[in-house]
Each structure stands twice: as structure tokens, then as C-alpha cells.
Amino acid sequence: MFFTQAIDITTEVSVEKFNAIAAAVLKQGDRKTYCNRYNNSPHYQMDGFDLYLNPANQFTNWSADKLSAEVSDYNTIVLYDQSAQSVYYDLLLKGDNVFLTCSDQTACLRIKKIFLTTYLPQIERVFQLDNVK
């Protein structure tokens, strides 16, 4: 999917929560390739969907095993749900904000609702993020 829009979801997913999710994927997950550009990416399989981490430097073809296991190496959490209308959902950390990227503004609002009601509660429960604001 080519992303042309982004909606700020920092109120619902803080920078601290984004980093906590990324840290949990790094600590509790494994490595898996989901596209040609990002080989051996940090990965965690949830119930019905997968989480991947993309590197902060996305301008080169890379292999994640060359990076350290530092949360700061990653600025994108990719949610992959093969059964969903939109298969990929990207959470992008940019400065002090977290954005949900999508194809257009209408899609952003629909995807935000789905993400907040379907995916985020499971992520918070599995990674025990209730105390992370």
C-alpha cells in the first residue's frame, strides 16, 4: 500500500507506549522476513495478526541482524493482518508524535477506529502495558 496520509494518534498511543511495544517485540519476539526490503525483521505473532519493526533508516536495503537490539533503531511498527480489508497498518514514530499512516483521510479514520478497538487492546494485554500511558 502506498501511504499518502497520516493521522496523529499520540493521544491514544504515546511515544512511551510505542517504545514499550517495540521493546516487547524485540525482547519476546523472533525474527522474520515480511518483505524484500526488510530481511530478518523483529517480529511478534499475536492472535490473528503479526507485528514487525522497521528501521529508522529506511533508505537502504538492510538486514535487521546487522542492527543492535535497541528500541531506538526502529521508528515503525507494522501490523500485518492477512484477513483484514487493509492488510498493513503502520505506526510511525516521528519526534514526539505517533502517526497511523494510510492511503487517504477517510481510510485513516476507519483504520484508526479498527486499530484502537481491535488491535491495541490485545497488544496492551499481551505485553502487559496497562500502566504505560
> Which cell numbers hold the place of 53?
519493526
Question: What is the pLDDT, as a whole number, of residue 58?
Answer: 61
Dist. CA 64–CA 59, nearest whole Å: 14
Lowest mean pLDDT among 35-39, 40-44, 56-60, 126-130: 56-60
Dist. CA 121–CA 129, nearest whole Å: 9
Backbone angles phi, psi at 119, to 5 degrees: -90, -50
Each residue of 97-125: pLDDT tens digit?
999 988 777 888 888 999 999 999 999 99
Q: What is the band of 80 on the pLDDT scale with cuts at 50, 70, 90?
A: very high
Q: Where are the domains of the chain?
A: 5-126
Place of cell 481510510: 107
- What is the per-residue DSSP string for 4-25? -EEEE-TTTS-HHHHHHHHHHH
